[in-house]
Amino acid sequence: MLVRDIYGGDYALLGLPGDAIASSFGLAARSPDNPRCLADILKSLLIAVSNNIGQLACLYAKQHNLTRILFGGFFIRGHGLTMELITFAVNFWSAGAHRALFLRHEGYLGAIGAFIKAANDSDESKTVWSENYVAGSRDAVGKFRIRCRENSLTLIDDGQLGPPSPAHLNTNFESPSHRNFDLPEIPESELNGLSIGVDEDGGSGKAEKKTRMRHSLSLRRIPMDSSYLELDRVLGHSLEPLPLLEHPTRYTPDTWDLTQDEEARTYWLACLERGVERHRIKAEESQYETMPDASERSHQFADRYIGYLHELGKNPSSSGVLTVRSLLSAQQHFLREFGFGDPFCIQKKLENHSALQEFPSFLKQLSQLSWADRQMLLVRALLGGNVFDWGAEETVKFFREARTDKFGVPDMEVTLSKIPPRPWLVDDYDKWIEAIRPDKQAYRCVLIFCDNSGPDVILGVLPFALEFISRGSNVILAANSAPAINDVTFEELEILLRLIAAHEPSVARALDTKHLLVTENGQIGPCLDLRLTASTLVQLIKREQVDLIVIEGMGRAVHTNLYARFRVDSLKVAVIKNAWLARRLGGELYGVLFKFERGSENQLSAETRENTPTLNQGPGTIFTDQAVDTI
């Protein structure tokens, strides 16, 4: 049966009957003598079915006001053509309003659900599971690794199940691109919160022998990346989305998708490979005096990470969506895998000592300035401190040539000289000053996502926070839950603040009165994914009623969250310490991002800030001469 074109058409002008449709022309192009191909018939049928599935899915989605459609089942599983056809159909029938999504590990869905349900049947707080894309990459397929976590069990000599013991891995690779290696026992102290077991005496003071778990398996590549899956259970804290996101369901942390951007992908893969040796040296230095095999393991890390980068160059999608965040997370993953929990610990210690030495003179300098001049210096210090980033290639070159103090750390004045004059690459400084003028109501609570240790947090973030506290605001400093490059962790930050508070009354008072709070942000990498923030931070945000978010640093404010929008006001501050990235953003090396945006909830309430007195006591009230003399 032939059906006339439902859209009509002036076929008569062409001398054609009204029932002449595209299929008629297709038949006319063939010779009647050619035999019908069964495969072509079946393919045409499956294409029709796929298009029909896409149309029906769009109708149901529209009926229920949904925009994302997940497809699963044996008909779809792993069939690239089917997924492509359904995606096209959904896009066509919805006019681009709906998205077709497919599960990477659809075949494991039932097993994963059953496993997680059983694992979560306990009295523990909310548990978060996340896919380990690095372990699930093509390069890692077939590699069996034992991860001794808090919920792991090991076998003791009498055959009974006991508490976990430190992991001892012995993994041999058949692939010629990998070296054989034998990881030593990794002390818990080296893993910085990744909860990998207990001491041999179980913490009881009595040595108790346990049978070590040793496994030796071969790497065998298989064609389907989705045939291997590893889940990580997040221990020590539960994670939740940041409640202040304007559109939580639309939020994507990453600024660029390197899977689609070939130029950016080529650059970042090469850039990170050039930085491997720098990280290897720092990793070796961090354990050189305490672990005799530090050098060997550092080279194993370098080989493993370089191999992973090469694999991504050939197969960009082998570890999910490829972004700068995922590449940096993989770097930290491999460092921890080879026993380097905090590779930059020595560098951070030196920079902390240096910044603490400069702190008194910097406070005195601030106390002598007018309000307007002090705001500019506070912002410049925030930017100058952000230059202390050991993850940036150009910065490391600059540090090697810069004038340093007795700790081998560049002077703050030297880094401040790198900050260009206004106007900056993104310059909302005037809008910012207008929002915080003394005659306007102060913010209720400011949330600051901290970046680097040393001068960044001590000379940049802390004075910036104290300025808000002097006006009656509360401040939450959110730092990493675990080390990453030279980023400060919340535990390190707590120690630093207590050291400073012993000599600086304003800091001691802010801590004692809970006007200055420190918490973990839930991150273990140098970027910021606001879909997974620590529940303790979420609780503080709700309790303190945060109405300003400050995100500092390239990893947190440029590689991620550059376009993130919030329900409250936000300030994103970073120095672009990568020449290629600066050019791509339309600027130059050390260009400044100073981006202030009104939140969707604060748009209407901004007028209420006019002509409202604050607790500001005038210039220098938080930076007293007594405090400067005491430190």
Q: Mean of the pLDDT values across residues 414-425? A: 95
pLDDT of residue 114: 77
Q: Collapsing DSSP states into helix, strand and coil, what is residue 389?
A: coil
Asked whether residue 93 falls in the same domain as residue 162, the answer is no
Q: Mean of the pLDDT values across residues 441-456? A: 97
72 occurs within a structural domain: yes
pLDDT of residue 116: 73
Asked whether residue 76 falls in the same domain as residue 150, the answer is no
Which one is predicted more confidently, 141 or 10?
A: 10
pLDDT-above-70 percentage for the chain: 72
**What is the bridge-based pairing of β-strands 161-162 and 154-155?**
antiparallel
Nearest to 476 by CA among 529, 526, 543, 525: 543
**Residues in contact with 332: Cβ distance below 8 Å, sequence separation at least 6, in sequence order:** 484, 485, 524, 525, 526
Asked whether residue 447 falls in the same domain as residue 596, the answer is yes
Asked whether residue 512 falls in the same domain as residue 366, the answer is yes
Asked whether residue 352 falls in the same domain as residue 205, the answer is no
Which one is predicted more confidently, 616 or 285?
A: 285
pLDDT of residue 186: 34
pLDDT band at 620 (very low <50, low <70, confident <90, very high): very low
Q: Mean of the pLDDT values across residues 156-175? A: 31
Asked whether residue 46 falls in the same domain as residue 144, the answer is no
pLDDT of residue 32: 60
pLDDT-above-90 percentage for the chain: 58
188 occurs within a structural domain: yes
Q: What is the 3-state secondary structure (H, E, C) of 105-116?
A: CHHHHHHHHHHH
pLDDT of residue 79: 78
In the numeric block, the tokens 């969707």 are attached to 600
pLDDT of residue 235: 63
242 occurs within a structural domain: no
Instruction: Tell me which of 233-242, 397-406, 517-526 is least confident.
Output: 233-242
Q: What is the pLDDT of residues 381-397, one digit of tens each?
A: 999 999 999 988 899 99
* Boundary of a domain, candidates 169, 203, 236: 236
CA-to-CA dists, residue 299 to 289, 339, 520, angstroms: 17, 12, 31
pLDDT band at 58 (very low <50, low <70, confident <90, very high): very high
The Cα 82–Cα 46 span in angstroms is 8
pLDDT of residue 120: 67
Asked whether residue 217 falls in the same domain as residue 353, the answer is no
Q: Collapsing DSSP states into helix, strand and coil, what is residue 249?
A: coil
- pLDDT greater than 70 at residue 7: no
**Residues in contact with 83: Cβ distance below 8 Å, sequence separation at least 6, in sequence order:** 71, 76, 100, 102
Instruction: Tell me which of 22-31, 94-103, 224-233, 350-359 is least confident.
Output: 22-31
Task: Measure the N-to-C terminal CA separation of the chain; round to a whole number of Å.
Answer: 93
Q: Which two tokens stand for residue 74?
A: 């044996």
Looking at the structure of the chain, the number of domains it has is: 3
pLDDT of residue 21: 53
pLDDT of residue 603: 60
Residue 336 host element (H or E)? helix 324-337
Asked whether residue 362 falls in the same domain as residue 458, the answer is yes
* Boundary of a domain, candidates 211, 236, 261: 236
* Boundary of a domain, candidates 218, 236, 254: 236
Which of the given ranges, 48-57, 77-86, 309-318, 378-387, has the highest pLDDT on average? Answer: 378-387
Q: Which two tokens stand for residue 36?
A: 């019908």
Long-range contacts of range 396-400, CB-CB < 8 Å, 24 or more positions apart?
396/278
245 occurs within a structural domain: no
- pLDDT greater than 90 at residue 125: no
Asked whether residue 200 falls in the same domain as residue 149, the answer is yes
288 occurs within a structural domain: no
pLDDT of residue 280: 97
Identify the domain containing residue 152 by its residue range.
134-236
pLDDT band at 74 (very low <50, low <70, confident <90, very high): confident
Asked whether residue 578 falls in the same domain as residue 469, the answer is yes
Residue 65: CATH number of its domain = 3.30.420.40
Nearest to 387 by CA among 455, 327, 449, 332: 455
559 occurs within a structural domain: yes
Which one is predicted more confidently, 524 or 81?
A: 524
- pLDDT greater than 70 at residue 401: yes
Asked whether residue 70 falls in the same domain as residue 184, the answer is no
Cα torsion 128, 134, 139, 140: sign: negative
- pLDDT greater than 60 at residue 147: no
- pLDDT greater than 80 at residue 623: no
Q: Which two tokens stand for residue 293?
A: 């095999």
Give me the torsion for CA of 469, 474, 480, 481, rounded to 10°.
Answer: 130
pLDDT of residue 39: 86
339 occurs within a structural domain: no
> Chain-wide mean pLDDT for the chain?
79
Asked whether residue 419 falls in the same domain as residue 533, the answer is yes
User: Packing angle between helix 294-314 and helix 324-337, nearest 10 degrees?
Assistant: 150
Q: What is the pLDDT of residues 463-504, one digit of tens each?
A: 999 999 999 999 999 999 999 999 999 999 999 999 999 999
- pLDDT greater than 50 at residue 209: no
pLDDT of residue 614: 43
Which one is predicted more confidently, 515 or 363?
A: 515
Question: b/e per residue, 67-82, with b = 16+ CB within 10 A?
Answer: eebebeeeebbeeeeb
**Residues in contact with 467: Cβ distance below 8 Å, sequence separation at least 6, in sequence order:** 374, 375, 378, 622
